[in-house]
Amino acid sequence: MSTPGRRAVPQRSSPLGASRRPPEWRAALSSLAKPTPARLALGVFTLLIGVFTALLSLPAATADGQRTALTDALFTSVSAICVTGLVTVDTGAHWSTFGLTVIMVAIKLGGLGLMTVASLLSLSVMHRLGLAQRVITAQETRAERLAEVGGVLRIILITSTLFEVLTFVALTPYMVITEHGIGQSLFLGLFYAISAFNNAGFFPEAAGTAQYMADPFFTIPIALAVFVGSLGFPVILVVVRKLRTPRKWSVHAKLTLTTTALLFVLGFVGFLALEWSNPATFGDRPFGTKVLGAVFAAVMPRSGGFATIDVGQMTAESRLLTDLLMFIGGGSGSTAGGIRVTTFALLMLAIFAEVRGNPDVEVFGRRIPHGTIRQAIGVLVMSATTVFLAAFLLLRMTPHSLDQTLFEVLSAFGTVGLSTGITAALPAEAKWVLIGCMYVGRLGPMTLGAALAVRSRLRMIQYPYERPIVG
């Protein structure tokens, strides 16, 4: 009943459940466009790849003054920024001094981390870091607290430069003695030092590193630089700060060092035994050269990428062992790819705890949170899925065997750079697959997934438990 003199306004009934919220697709796009730390790092990373691709496409970047094909320039740029070392052109013969310098700068930036470099520039110019930049840099450097990001950045720059200088000082006199000119020796020493510590695996000589197989004055500095670089800055920082009190080292540092040492012993014994009588590798070499070659070969799958023997001539068993080591990779927060050493260690500890019936995963007197174990499982599954899809695509695109294809994919995903020799002959579409593997392997599957995730939901209602049969 309406009031006299007033006009009744008809009420519109809205459908049940309707709201003024935007459609789902619009909300998804809006969420995807938000500048989260992971997405910002992804954008900067992609931008730098584009810049170095353009530089390597210049005629001045090649030895013959001709432009490099876009696919090859992009492949080299991604390989350098991702500190991988896989190449589609002969690095020492194809690129000019300018081109090699561009690659060297890309390796240095990629090794330090792009957000680390940006933060260092901000510190030098503005003498401070904003909160957002601290959050992003803390994720990249694995700093434990935001307040210590500035100190961590300075230590990273000092320690990385120190190890590169030490490697440079060790290599340059050797280059002079081996009849390289003074200028060339200085350039080669600097290039090898940066490439080795950052685990890039690029070598600027057309003859490669096989010529130095029996020379400890070359192989030992390179192997040491690769080994230290693959540990990761979080471990290096802990060791530098608490060198005299190993008991106070973090669980991450202890786990990384212990697992890395065990994997090194496994690789050394495996390669020495499997290649001992192989005439194409160690067969006719003296005992000392075999041991030196096995040490070098055991370090390189961490993410080094240098090789003093022909990988394509290794036994099938040695390549399978290399596949395993490349998939595991190096330490978290390092330039290495793969699932990372700590991920592998946590998965093994979780399996051991399950076999023994322990409800918790324990190591070095500490319990590991269940969320960390779930994250390790996620990294393993996403990494294995990436490798499977890439290997499947390469098998469809090329006539190569599964052994060769899987090796190249794992080398790209693990940002290692070792190759059976088929990368340069791959068709363009197969090279794009390896580019994707290097990209995902350097950023990490979890980082890439976090950057592309549309939104995270907080569940207010939880379903009851019901345990399915496992095994």
136-149 average pLDDT score: 48
Q: Which has the higher per-residue pLDDT, 38 or 62?
A: 62
Hey, which residues does 35 pair with through a beta bridge?
Answer: none
pLDDT for position 124: 43
SS3 content of the chain, % helix, strand, coil (to 5): 65, 0, 35
Structural domains in the chain (count): 1
Best-predicted range by mean pLDDT (10-14, 54-58, 369-373): 54-58
Give the pLDDT confidence of 364-379 residue by residue, as tens digits.
889 998 888 888 888 8
Evaluate whether 446 touches 371 at the Cβ level (below 8 Å). Answer: no
Q: Is 348 helix (H, G, I), strand (E, B) or coil?
A: helix
- Alpha-carbon gap, residue 42 to 121, rounded angstroms: 19
Does the global pTM surpass 0.95?
A: no
Type of residue at 6: R
Hey, which residues does 366 pair with through a beta bridge?
Answer: 363
Q: Which has the higher per-residue pLDDT, 123 or 105?
A: 105
Do the domain assignments include residue 458?
A: no
pLDDT at 460 over 80: no
Least confident range from 37-41, 54-58, 171-175: namely 37-41
Do the domain assignments include residue 108?
A: yes
pLDDT for position 454: 46
Q: How far is CA 224 from each of CA 2, 218, 252, rounded to the nearest angstrom?
A: 91, 10, 21
In the chain, % of residues over pLDDT 90: 49
In this structure, the number of other CB atoms found within 10 A of the CB of residue 7 comes to 7
pLDDT for position 304: 87
Q: What is the dihedral of CA 374, 378, 381, 384, to 10 degrees?
A: -130
Residue 14: phi and psi, rounded to 5, are -95, 150
Do the domain assignments include residue 236?
A: yes
**Per-residue pLDDT band at 391 (split at 50, 70, 90):** very high
Do the domain assignments include residue 462?
A: no
Half-sphere exposure of 229 (CA within 13 A, CB side): 41
pLDDT for position 35: 53
Do the domain assignments include residue 252?
A: yes
Q: How far is CA 153 from each of CA 40, 136, 158, 241, 330, rounded to the nearest angstrom?
A: 19, 12, 9, 14, 21
424: Cβ contacts below 8 Å, ≥ 6 apart: 87, 88, 89, 90
Do the domain assignments include residue 25?
A: no
Nearest to 324 by CA among 386, 401, 266: 266
Do the domain assignments include residue 408?
A: yes
pLDDT for position 332: 80
Residue 339: phi and psi, rounded to 5, are -80, -10
Give the pLDDT confidence of 170-214 residue by residue, as tens digits.
999 999 988 788 999 999 999 999 999 988 989 999 888 888 998
Evaluate whether 431 touches 88 at the Cβ level (below 8 Å). Answer: yes
Do the domain assignments include residue 309?
A: yes
> What residue numbers bound the domain in which 216 lies?
35-452
Least confident range from 40-44, 79-83, 439-443: namely 40-44
Nearest to 64 by CA among 29, 102, 99, 31: 99
